[in-house]
Amino acid sequence: MEKLISYPLSILYYVLFLFWLIVFHPIQWFCYNVFGYNAHRWSVAIMNLFLIRTTHLLGTIYTIIGKENIPKNAPVVFVANHQSLHDITTIIWFLRASHPKFISKKELGKGIPSVSYNLRKGGSALIDRKDPKQALTEIKNCAEFINKNNYSVVIFPEGTRSKTGIPKPFSVNGLKMLYKFAPDAYFVPITINNSWKMTKFGQFPLGLGNRINFKIHQPLKISDYSFEEIFEKTEKTIVQSIKI
């Protein structure tokens, strides 16, 4: 029954989703080119608020726990498990005060209204998974950028979305580069639950009535740990709070 009801709601959701991307693309361009970084950042945040509100058509509810754990006036590396594209819209809006950037595959840097423009102009790292040298250089540049400006970067070290909520092993390389080139930063683990249920039937139709939960854990200051220690502690903290 849920799947049957979801067909018309999913069509409406996707129409509105694309509508917001198209509407905000010229708004982003104008904000960036006329008013600069902060205006562009706010245009992106507000767009993602609209995208989140659109998911309410599907009965989606969001719970964010632990925002008080995010360090202020310091660079932050948000490390999270990855369950769906809805993880990203949620982070951009609810963690907007931290100026989140993303480690994304380069294919997302072109062809997608609003999304591609933000990734190219907003300070994110666009990596080529087939070119490790290019990927590590991009991550290095992003790490230095957030370290200098007290911004944040979001990395999903599983490398791909979990379609069942069961976490995949964390990859070392991206985190190691962020650890090395953002030495003033904190690792902040985030556990995401139930986001995968949005696409439990696939991309169409979408799941209904989901409660997506984000738990922001205690920060770990990079300078207090060896990489091996902080990597192990971060992965363990995230995985232990995942509920299947």
Place of tokens 């903290």: 237
Q: Is the pLDDT of residue 2 over 90?
A: no
> Which of 88, 111, 110 has the alpha carbon at shortest distance from 101?
88
What value does the mean pLDDT take over residues 75-102? 96
> Which of 196, 202, 190 has the alpha carbon at shortest distance from 6?
202
Percent of the chain with pLDDT over 70: 100
Read off the amino acid at residue 205: P
Q: pLDDT tens for residues 118-165?
A: 999 999 999 998 898 999 999 999 999 999 999 999 999 997 888 888
In this prediction the pTM is 0.94
CA distance 234 to 199: 26
Q: pLDDT tens for residues 177-225?
A: 999 999 999 999 999 999 999 999 999 999 999 999 999 999 999 999 9
Q: pLDDT tens for residues 42-61?
A: 999 999 999 999 999 999 99
CA distance 184 to 178: 10
220-221 vs 186-193, strand pairing mode: antiparallel
CA contacts within 13 A on the Cβ side of 76: 27
Indicate the DSSP class of residue 86.
Answer: H
What pLDDT is stored for residue 161 in this prediction? 80
Peptide bond into 205 cis (omega under 30): yes
Q: What is the dihedral of CA 157, 163, 167, 173, to 10 degrees?
A: -20
Percent of the chain with pLDDT over 90: 92
Reduced to 3 states (helix: H, G, I; strand: E, B; else coil), residue 111 is coil
CA distance 109 to 174: 19
